[in-house]
Amino acid sequence: MTTFSEQYAQMYDNFHELRDIQEESKRLIEKINEYIGHDKITVGLDLGCGTGKQAEQLIRMGLNIYVSDTSTFMLDIASKRLGAEKIFSEGIRDELVFDFIYSMFDVVSYQSTIERFEEFLVPVNRHLHKGGIFIFDGWYLPGYLLDPPRRSVRSFFFNNKEFLREVNPLKIGKDGVTELDITLIDFELSTLVHRETHILRAYTRNEVRKALANKGFEICEFKNGDEWSEEITSDSWRFFCIARKL
């Protein structure tokens, strides 16, 4: 199972600074309103919140959002950003039940086996109201097989210094499992600052459907992860899914 280190968490927002959180949050709200209604005061959970940046945006837009993450380092940053009262975990605020739960930015693909994906769905089901929705995205196996992950390098600044984030696939499996070697490099000194391994899995529509059905959900939408209004195709690299608790 992938874990995020303190160094990685501290730099996370910087090397993902080009991600359009505001636009993605607008699209999320549109979907939440579509399935829950404009006139209801809703409470939601960001499951796999990272540093809490998207939850912060949704809170600014008027939603009541709690956050949770398996990385204590990510959660520490989210707590400082949002306040400790917004942190949710089983055993802490365990009585909370949500109208919607979302897991964006490939959180589901970090569940690198179908068994882990189904285990991940158990608390999602437990903490959703009946009829509540689960919104998530991930890697899509058909598109993944057509265009497997490849080496990428991104420049970013942290504390006024330039760094490189280099991602190298170490293993690319026909089952959709990829092992990524991720390094953070001081650009000026050309020295390695940090290295860690991330393992992700691409899923088919049928795998997602079966896992959801096994844990008490039905699929409402399964679309192109880059353009949520578009149907998914064999060359789509990512999927976007909305499921309803039965």
**Same domain assignment for residues 155 and 55:** no
Q: Give the confidence band of 160 by pLDDT, cuts at 50, 70, 90.
A: very high
Neighbours of 198 (CB within 10 A): 18
Look up the domain containing 115 and give its range.
6-139+203-245
Using CA atoms, how far apart are residues 102 and 91, in angstroms rounded to an integer? 20
Number of domains in the chain: 2
- Return the higher-pLDDT residue of 96 and 203: 203
**Same domain assignment for residues 35 and 102:** yes
- The answer to whether 70 and 125 have CB atoms below 8 angstroms apart is no
Instruction: Give a yes or no: residue 83 inside a domain.
Output: yes
**Same domain assignment for residues 221 and 112:** yes
pLDDT number for residue 38: 66
**Same domain assignment for residues 99 and 179:** no
Using CA atoms, how far apart are residues 246 and 231, in angstroms rounded to an integer? 24
Ordered alpha helix ranges (H), the chain: 6-15, 21-36, 53-60, 72-82, 114-126, 141-146, 205-214
Please report, as a single letter, which amino acid is at residue 63.
L
**Same domain assignment for residues 181 and 75:** no
**Same domain assignment for residues 172 and 225:** no
Residue range 222-243: mean pLDDT, rounded = 97
pLDDT number for residue 4: 87
